Amino acid sequence: MRIHSGNGPHEEMDRRAIVCFDQALEDVGLTAEPLRQVLHDYFAWATTTTMSRYHESVDDVPEGLSIPRWSWDGLQR
Give the rounded distance of the alpha carbon of 8 from its chain centre. Answer: 16
Half-sphere exposure of residue 57, counting CA atoms within 13 Å on the CB side? 3
> What are the structural domain ranges in the chain?
2-76
Which runs of consecutive H residues, i.e. helices, occur in the chain? 11-27, 35-48
What single letter denotes the amino acid at residue 18? I
What single letter denotes the amino acid at residue 39? L
- Please report, in tens digits, the pLDDT of each residue of the chain (77 residues total): 776 776 677 889 899 999 999 999 999 999 999 999 999 999 999 888 877 777 777 787 888 887 788 888 888 87
Ramachandran angles phi, psi of 70, nearest 5°: -125, 145
